[in-house]
Amino acid sequence: MTVFHHRFDPTVLREYDIRGVVGKTLKPEDAFAIGRCFGSIVVREGGRGRVAVGYDGRLSSPDLEPQLVAGLRACGLEVLRIGLGPTPMLYYAAHALETDGAVMVTGSHNPPDYNGFKMMLGRKPFFGAQIREIGRMAAEGDVVPASAEGSDRRVDLAGDYVARLLRDYDGGERRLRVVWDPGNGAAGEVLKRLVARLPGEHFVINAAVDGTFPNHHPDPTVPRNLAQLIEEVAREKADLGIAFDGDADRIGLVDDQGGILFGDQMMVILARDVLRQRPGATIIADVKASQVLFDEIARAGGNPLMWKTGHSLIKAKMAETGAPLAGEMSGHIFFADRWYGFDDALYAAVRLLGVLARSDRPLSAIRAALPRVINTPELRFDCPEERKFAVVQEVKDRLAAEGARVQDVDGVRVLTEDGWWLLRASNTQAVLVARAEARSAEGLERLKAEIARQLRASGLQAPDFSAANAGH
């Protein structure tokens, strides 16, 4: 009997997924090991012994997926292979096909030479200590005995997924003109099927799935990646433009005037709509979101809850609190209102279109009516891995001694007369993350100066804040 042992490059086992550079830190044998270890966890949990597998449009994904499947089969599992598509379609498969687990081969929004794996165990996210356990199991060979009884079969779920998305479209009489940009990512084919059945007029750019991402990087949170979409919105005189990241679990949005709406601004629109039907409901947003969002949730009759950044952490908190909606600045939008509680950019788009089709105002007017604040983008700067959490704790201790008003759900978010500033440690990289928001330019300068003061007190050089202002 062959004894299984495997060691991963330590950089690939992240907090929320497994991810690395193909051919360097991530190789086909890693995919087999993930299948072997994750499959062993599924077997030990009991259940029906079925795991769904999907993959994105990266050039390396067709090579990694069969190795993953082989590892799962070696555990005696039945593998349901849904093929190429967006990550949310894989999440949907876990619910629709009632599987015991699901694994997506995806590099998300990373550069073309990256790839990785996102996992669900049952209907729950698989992250943190669970991912570290995969590393331990592989190193120690702690897997179920190899079995020859595993199997796999292909399942075409795209039609069912599109039909389920369409079921929750709730627009009115207004016919919208919409430009879509999946960024040559994994959503292209599914998106074309979706828009063919949605009301209105739809224009899809960069629909061909191409793992080289020839037109722009597939990350809609970076304004320069939306430039082509903004041009097309103007050319088509469209009502809005919608963009996805590489695996379509994050959404970007531009209005009819080419203005960008960030994740927290999208959440204001969606939260108001959900709260019309579910007054008093808890709505969750991550610690990086604007205070405007939390204030608007309360104004609309909801219970705003600030939580830790990270899509797996948000999903877990939603399940705990029964929140019908949650979102992150990064464009992850989670619906448990009529949906399943996972982040799905296509579903969020359908719900946004429903809201706008029932409105008589252009999206630019809705954005312009939001309270105006001035804020920085997310500022990321290097900090040694062994220091990043200690620095945040040092800052927290100094703030406590100074009597500052601090929210410490994830790092430190400090409330002042000018607004707020945030400092937190990244869960996935050797960096600190800062952000600030104020009601005036002068106030923002004072907040940035305070971040710099705190960093210097911990022996770090402050980042360059000179160009870090953005209206929001």
Per-residue model confidence as pLDDT tens digits over 201-224: 999 999 999 999 999 999 999 999
**Rounded to an integer, what distance in angstroms lies between the CA atom of residue 221 and that of residue 243?**
9
Do 301 and 412 belong to one domain?
A: no
DSSP-derived secondary structure letter, 224: G
Domain co-membership, 307 together with 401? no
Average pLDDT value for residue range 97-117 = 95
Domain end position, chosen among 94, 126, 156: 156
Average confidence score pLDDT of the chain: 95
Residue 344, CB half-sphere, CA atoms under 13 Å: how many?
A: 28
337 and 404 share one domain:
no
148 band by pLDDT with thresholds 50, 70 and 90: confident
- Exposed/middle/buried for 441, CB within 10 Å: 0-12, 13-18, 19+? exposed
Q: Is the pLDDT of residue 471 over 70?
A: no
Of 368, 396, 430, the residue that ends a domain is 368
Q: What is the pairing mode between strands 405-407 and 470-471?
A: unpaired
Collapsed DSSP state (helix, strand, coil) of residue 178: strand
Residues 451 and 349 in one domain: no
In a domain, residue 197? The reply is: yes
Statement to judge: residues 328 and 381 lie in one domain: no
- When pLDDT is averaged across residues 255-267 and rounded to a whole number, the result is 97
9 inside domain: no
Domain that holds residue 350: 160-368
- Other beta carbons less than 10 A from residue 173's beta carbon: 7
pLDDT of 48 above 60: yes
Q: Can you tell me which residue has the tokens 């199997």?
A: 151
Is 345 strand, coil or helix?
Answer: helix
d(CA 324, CA 284): 9
Position 456 confidence tier, pLDDT thresholds 50, 70, 90: very high
| Tens-digit pLDDT profile for residues 58-71 | 999 999 999 999 99
Give me the helix-helix angle, 28-45 and 61-73, nearest 10°: 40
- SS3 state of residue 357: helix
Give the N- to C-terminal CA distance of the chain in Å, as an integer: 61
Give the per-residue pLDDT at 2: 64
- Could you say which DSSP state residue 330 is in? T
Residue 120's pLDDT band, with cuts at 50, 70 and 90, is very high
* Secondary structure element (H or E) that encloses residue 193, with its range: helix 188-195
In 3D space, the residue among 351, 181, 377, 167 whose CA is nearest the CA of residue 267 turns out to be: 351
State the residue for tokens 């907040």. Answer: 447
pLDDT digits (tens, 9 = 90+) for 172-190: 889 999 999 999 999 999 9
Quick one: pLDDT band at residue 378, thresholds 50, 70, 90? confident
Least confident of 268-272, 275-279, 290-294, 426-430: 426-430
Is a pLDDT exceeding 80 seen at residue 1?
A: no
Whether residues 249 and 305 fall in one domain: yes
Residue 228, φ and ψ in degrees, nearest 5? -65, -40
Q: What is the mean pLDDT of residues 94-110?
A: 96
Indicate the residue among 325, 340, 368 that finishes a domain: 368
Q: pLDDT grade, residue 430 (50/70/90)?
A: confident
| Residue 105: both structure tokens together | 């081969």
Whether 103 is covered by a domain: the verdict is: yes
Largest CA distance in the chain: 70
Cα separations in angstroms, 392 against 152, 370, 457, 458: 47, 32, 11, 9
- Residue 10 inside a domain? The answer is no
From 395, 401, 375, 399, select the one nearest 383 (Cα to Cα). Answer: 395
Q: Is 108 a catalytic residue?
A: yes
466 domain-assigned: yes
pLDDT of res. 98? 96
Closest among 35, 36, 31, 38 to 115, alpha carbons compared: 31
Residues 149 and 165 in one domain: no
Q: Which pLDDT tens digit goes with each residue over 12-44? A: 998 889 999 999 999 999 999 999 999 999 999
Give the pLDDT score at 15.
86
Residue 466, pLDDT score: 63
pLDDT for res 126: 95
Looking at the fold, whether 45 and 94 belong to one and the same domain comes out as yes
166 pLDDT exceeds 80? yes
The answer to whether residue 320 is domain-embedded is yes
CATH of the domain at 388: 3.30.310.50
Catalytic entry in 40, 60, 61, 108: 108
Task: Write the CB contacts of 135 (distance below 8 Å, at least 6 apart in sequence).
Answer: 8, 10, 13
Domain assignment present for residue 214? The answer is: yes
Same-domain pairing of 410 and 345? no
Residue 81 pLDDT exceeds 70? yes
Q: What is the CATH number of the domain that holds 69?
A: 3.40.120.10
- The total number of structural domains in the chain stands at 3
Residue type, 197: R
- The pLDDT of residue 116 is above 70: yes
Q: Please check the confidence at residue 195 and state whether its pLDDT lies above 80.
A: yes
CA-CA distance, 411 to 408, in Å (whole number)?
5
The Cα 176–Cα 231 span in angstroms is 17
Confidence of residue 380 (pLDDT cuts 50, 70, 90): confident
Nearest to 388 by CA among 309, 289, 455: 455
Given a cut of 90, whether residue 235 has pLDDT beyond it is: yes
101 with 169, same domain: the answer is no
- According to DSSP, the β-strands at 177-181 and 240-244 are parallel
Residue 243, SS3? strand
DSSP letters spanning 257-304: TSPEEPHHHHHHHHHHHHHHHSTT-EEEEETTS-HHHHHHHHHTT-EE
Examine residue 448 and state whether it is found in any structural domain, yes or no.
Answer: yes
Instruction: Check residue 467 and give its pLDDT.
Output: 53
Say if residues 293 and 261 touch (Cβ distance below 8 Å): no
Residues β-bridged to residue 241: 179, 254
> What is the per-residue pLDDT for 134?
97
Q: Are residues 461 and 389 in the same domain?
A: yes
Placement of tokens 């082989």 in the chain: 70
* Per-residue pLDDT at 419: 96
Share above pLDDT 70 across residues of the chain, in percent, rounded to a whole number: 98
> Residue 39 has which token pair?
């499959």
Both tokens assigned to 335: 């619906």
Summarize pLDDT for 279-334 with one digit per residue, the tens: 999 999 999 999 999 999 999 999 999 999 988 999 999 999 999 999 999 999 99
Tokens 């966890």 belong to residue = 41
Q: Could you tell me the CA-to-CA distances from 146 to 8, 32, 45, 76, 99 in Å, in that order?
A: 20, 13, 17, 7, 21
Residue type, 155: V
Same structural domain, 270 and 345: yes
